[in-house]
Amino acid sequence: MRIVRLETFTRPFVAIVRVTLEDGSQGFGQMSPYHADISTEVFHRLVAPKALGQDGTRIEAVVEHVFSEQLKFPGTFLCRAIAGLDTALWDAAGKREEKPVWALLGAGGGVVPVYASSMSREITPDGEVERFRRLGDAYGFRAFKFRIGQKNGRNGDAWEGRTPAMIRTVGEAFAGTRVKLLVDGNSCYDVEHALRIGRMLEDAGISQFEEPCPYWQYDDTRAVARELDIPVSGGEQDNYLPAWQYMVATDVVDVCQPDLCYVGGVSRALKVAKIAEGGNKPVMFHAANSSLVTLFSLHVMAALPNAGSHCEFNIEPNAFHDVSLDRFFSPPLAVDDGAVALGDAPGWGVAPDDDWLAGAQWRESALADMETRHAGKAIS
């Protein structure tokens, strides 16, 4: 069942992929967000020429084939582009089998607990507490994540004293409850500062410390994880599988947080999850934006034997100018009693919004055009 057509629908932040197989069946996926025009160019220059003509029912083999053919270009934009191909093929597979992706992956059900993830470093401590309580009352959230420090902040803060005030205020607000609290440092601290902040978190009853140190400084993160009692998580930026093997084998983090689209799609995310499972580490996907990555992550987490307690769920009203979960695809994701029920519709169970697609820049690569020049090598 050859892949005969690959289309992209691109807006500034997000690009949708539609795959068509030779029997006319189709599936929708999404490349990783941010700088979608670059990912789209990479998709049509490096991914589509190697994917067209391949057997679209062998998803992992197609993904690995593209990577092997582009061995000189193993970086983030290749992974981001391949995510669009991979997730579109999984949607097509689900529609072909008349099963949701979570069922294709062997999950017994499609209900996944989620935590409300704040993206704001402008909100005050009291404002964050008020928002968390309101969302808990409305949607049953029982887990929340807030931001501390500054992104790659070299020990800085959004304003003087904000981080200690956030930790104290949010911690006290939910002390004695069953609410789980997490924080994200976004690569802010060196080891000394991370340990000082980590002790504050432990005293406040916070249950997880994400990316305390610059994510590429594995030794620093490991040093923090070894000293703190609170679990340290990370890995959203890591798309190189040998790096994941090293991180797990040497206990860089306690909780693995790959981003399904950053890492290259479902097939590669499953490999990261398997690596984590071998090290007895849970997986909690990074899904910090309003796009299909949240939906993809929920389907996969439903099927992981080592799934963490919750999947991330963005609570900002509109993380991107051109994407909102209530108008990007339908039906929209709905949180009830602190969880998302994915339903039994085949594939991803959603369809991109027609108006959103109509307003996007369309581009295609087709096998018919390729065959007049040269076809990709067949998968062995």
Are 22 and 149 found together in one domain? no
What's the number of domains the chain is made of?
2
Residue 376 lies in a domain: no
- Residue type at 85 in one-letter notation: L
* Average pLDDT of span 311-321: 77
Are 69 and 122 found together in one domain? no
- The CATH number of whichever domain residue 356 belongs to comes to 3.30.390.10
Dihedral, 212, 144, 205, 207 alpha carbons, nearest 10: -50
Q: Which two tokens stand for residue 241?
A: 């599988």
User: 94 CB contacts (<8 Å, ≥6 apart)?
Assistant: 27, 100, 101, 103, 104, 346, 347, 348
Are 117 and 78 found together in one domain? no
Give the model's pLDDT for residue 328. 82
Q: What does the alpha-carbon distance between residue 377 and residue 380 come to, in Å, rounded to a whole number?
A: 9
Lowest mean pLDDT across 247-256, 340-349, 363-372 = 363-372
Residue 77 lies in a domain: yes
3-state secondary structure of 341: strand
pLDDT tens readout for residues 206-245:
999 999 999 999 999 999 999 999 999 999 999 999 999 9
pTM more than 0.85: yes
Are 177 and 87 found together in one domain? no
Are 84 and 227 found together in one domain? no
Backbone angles phi, psi at 222, to 5 degrees: -60, -40
pLDDT tens readout for residues 2-40:
999 999 999 999 999 999 999 999 999 999 999 999 999
Are 62 and 139 found together in one domain? no
Are 9 and 60 found together in one domain? yes
Q: What does the alpha-carbon distance between residue 352 and residue 355 come to, in Å, rounded to a whole number?
A: 9
* Average pLDDT of span 144-167: 97
Are 176 and 120 found together in one domain? yes
User: 87 CB contacts (<8 Å, ≥6 apart)?
Assistant: 17, 28, 29, 30, 261, 265, 266, 292, 296, 348
Question: 183: part of which helix (H) or strand (E)?
Answer: strand 180-184
**Domain range spanning residue 222?**
102-345
Question: 298: part of which helix (H) or strand (E)?
Answer: helix 292-301
pLDDT tens readout for residues 100-113:
999 999 999 999 99
Contact assessment for residue 311 and residue 285, using Cβ atoms and an 8 Å cutoff: yes
Residue 377 lies in a domain: no
Q: Which two tokens stand for residue 120?
A: 């704001």
